[in-house]
Amino acid sequence: MPSDKQPMSARAWLFEAIGVTALLLIAAVLINMSLDVYGIFRNAKGRHLVVYGDERVAKYLLSEKYVPENFNALLIGSSVSANWNTGGIEGLRVYNESINGGNIVEAKAITDRTLSSSRIRAVLLIVHPYLTSSHEFETVQLTPRENLAALGSQSLLDAYKSEARIKLRLAKPELDEFGTDDFGDIPQKMNPHLQKLMAPGTEFTIDASAMASYKALVDELHSANIRIIYVIPPVTQSIYLSKVNAFANYSHAALENRSEEDRVIDFTSDEFMDFRSDPGNFKDGVHLTNQSARQVVAIINTKLNQWIQTGQLSSFR
């Protein structure tokens, strides 16, 4: 028996398909806003958000609300300081903004995101030639348009995949709620970039644009009355001795616009020679093992507490 139902016209089918697609997109956006893995769509105060997916995108987005609503200080650096667990610092609540393979241009983009809230009171700024060896964005150019990625994108899908694998115990968490990476304690070979950078008897190559960004960040922090604690990280004694003048010259250039109120913790000084002389403290001569990173954070914590007690630095905990 023939059906009385008229076949759908091509125009009606098109409108229906568009409508269904729009509803699915709206539903996806609402779900992503509800899950809010980056803490940008609802109150982030008191939440414990970790990094999933692309580290740069995640830390950039977490820096909009999560970081300034839960922390009052930052650690800015590259992979050299990425596994420094800032949860061990008592006088300040410090979020580790360090990114693997990161340069100062990327770090400044993330930091500027956080500083727009005016809640950050102090910054631990790493002084290391890797930060100013390049000014190129490693994966994506970090701009406010990344907020749209938090509503639906490949990077968000990758973040969900990462979260699912971790919660199903198919993978270990890579970064915690303080932004701290987990390098482990197994020695490894220094990567080619670092090998070239640490070549004995040569000065460090400085990218002019990157150093300009470094100094612009320092000026920005000074203008906002944010206290800077420069941290010159350790390397093995053998590497240090092969480039003594290069390390000294680089630190002089990086600290050129340091103010009288800024403080410096120099792990290349004689005070820490015993630490540098133990190769077991390093995974590759430059990066610290997790265990030795905890020692470095404990030293930083002691220095900060001393400055707080003597009135040289305020406690913002």
Ordered domains of the chain (ranges, CATH): 14-309 (3.40.50.1110)
Q: What are phi and psi of 266, to 5 degrees?
A: -110, 105
Q: Which residue has the tokens 């269904």?
A: 20
Q: Which of 146-150, 249-253, 260-264, 312-316 has the lowest mean pLDDT?
A: 146-150
Higher pLDDT, 17 or 78: 78
Q: At 221, which amino acid appears?
A: L
Please count the other Cβ atoms lying within 10 Å of the Cβ belonging to residue 181.
23
Residue 47: the pLDDT is: 86
What is the arithmetic mean of pLDDT over 176-200? 90
Tokens of 235: 């390397």
pLDDT tens by residue, 86-124: 999 998 999 999 998 889 999 999 999 888 877 899 999
Contact status, residue 196 vs residue 230, Cβ threshold 8 Å: no
Tokens of 62: 């977490």
Predicted model pTM: 0.84
pLDDT higher than threshold 70 for residue 260: yes
pLDDT tens by residue, 10-68: 666 555 566 655 544 444 444 444 456 677 777 878 888 888 878 888 898 899 889 99
Residue 32: the pLDDT is: 46
